[in-house]
Amino acid sequence: MGGTQSAPVTDTAPFSVVPSTPAIPKAPRTSVVGETEDGALSRAAKLAQAAPQLSMVRPHLLIAGHRAQWPTAGDYALINCAREALFPDDCVPPAHVRPILSLALRDGPSQELLPFLPRVLAAMADAGVVVLLCQQGVSRSCSFAIAALMCNEGLSYADAFATVKAARPICSPNPGFLCQLLELETYRTDRSKRPPVYCFGPHGAHDAHTWVLTACHVPNSRRAARPTQVERHTKALLAYCLPEAVHVWCGATAETSQVGPMEHEIRELYARSTAFLSLLQTTSETAFAYGCYDVVAPPTPPLLVVEPETPIATASRAVLSVATHLDGPWEVLRDASTAFVWLGADHPATPSDVVSAKLRAAGAIGPITIVLQGDEGEPFWDAYESGY
């Protein structure tokens, strides 16, 4: 700053930190264009100074903006985080900077970042030297660089941020991205905070052809929604994450052609987020349940890592079944060993023998127990909590 002089930086480490020294009086000097009254560069001047730079976070990881001066030779993989922003005519990436991923992300607090992290990590995995790029190289690209260090190197958010900031001083993720990066750190350390329900759907009106897996949150908050808090629309594709399996719930009018891509996104979410792999034990078998509108998960299941080589099997039966009338999908109980029928306080006055007959007709062969709201016993709750 204007009244402080820093000691010179010795080039002994990839990311040296400038040591601070006591203030030393300086002789008056002429101000430079872009400086503030205390001699510091203004934000506009800092952005202009950094615009042509490719900032090296790691030898294989660079950050740049649209005004970058591209190297004349070499082999670089480009991840463009701001597809909607056009390159200036004189700064179009050359042929040896090959695009490998293009995302239409917007630099706003409501933009979801974490749903795109698995595909960014996957693209980076075998790409060699990667350039993370956004319009100015300030928020979107820096946020992914921070997340990549957290996931691939196990750094804390603070250490990852400091590393990127040292490499690119104009690094400044917007408040929404900062919150999501802190959430990522929380997910690594506290299983109870990991989202139990995800929704698979279009990224947004500006990017309707890109489908992403987004955690379901309580309205007007970043708190993960419990399964009972998520409204199941008929067009929805939802993933319920249980300790033993991930179950996919398909609405009656959902685009079933998207179930395959949804499976892929779930695998990428678990397999590519190395931050989770070191903290959770994987399972050798995973089940997916496909249904119309009757598959529901227990109230608060934690997330589970799924190994990419694990084959996905179809679940033999639903976890729970919910029906609003007697003509509901009782056939889901065909293979169940035990059937508990829970009748809410406002259910129609229907004799128990009628309900039992419906279940028998649907093929349920195990014992059938009618349970009224308020009269639930331990066997019912034991079965409910175990996923039956």
Residue type, 268: E
Assess contact for 336 and 317: CB atoms under 8 A. yes
Element (H, E) at 44: helix 43-50
The reported pLDDT for the residue numbered 241 is 79
Two tokens, residue 335? 């293979």
CA 126 and chain centroid, separation: 21
Q: Which residue has the tokens 């820096």?
A: 142
Two tokens, residue 92? 């179009």
The reported pLDDT for the residue numbered 259 is 85
Look at residues 137, 166, 160 and name the one whose alpha carbon lies nearest to residue 14. Answer: 166
Determine the Cα–Cα distance for residues 330 and 183; give it in Å rounded to an integer: 40
- Which phi and psi (to 5°) does residue 192 adopt? -65, -15
The reported pLDDT for the residue numbered 309 is 34
Q: How many CB atoms lie within 10 A of CB 277?
A: 15
User: How many residues are given for the chain?
Assistant: 388
Q: What is the CA radius of gyration of the chain?
A: 27
The reported pLDDT for the residue numbered 188 is 77
Look at residues 149, 143, 162 and name the one whose alpha carbon lies nearest to residue 275. Answer: 149
Q: Which residue has the tokens 């795109």?
A: 116
- Which phi and psi (to 5°) does residue 26 adopt? -120, 150
List per-residue pLDDT tens for the chain, 388 residues long: 444 444 444 443 333 333 434 445 555 544 445 555 555 788 889 999 999 999 999 999 999 999 999 999 999 999 999 999 999 989 999 999 999 999 999 999 899 999 999 899 989 988 999 999 999 999 999 999 999 999 889 899 999 999 999 999 999 999 999 999 999 998 877 777 788 899 999 999 999 999 999 999 988 888 888 888 888 888 889 988 776 677 888 888 888 888 888 888 887 776 654 434 333 333 323 333 333 223 333 333 333 333 333 333 333 333 344 444 455 545 545 555 566 677 766 565 655 666 666 666 655 555 667 777 667 676 666 555 444 3
Q: Which residue spans of the chain are classified as CATH 3.90.190.10?
A: 49-189
Domain 49-189 has CATH 2.40.30.160: no
CA distances (Å), 351 to each of 126, 331, 333, 343, 348, in order?
63, 20, 20, 11, 9
The reported pLDDT for the residue numbered 190 is 78
Give the bridge partners for 217, in sequence order. 224
The reported pLDDT for the residue numbered 338 is 61
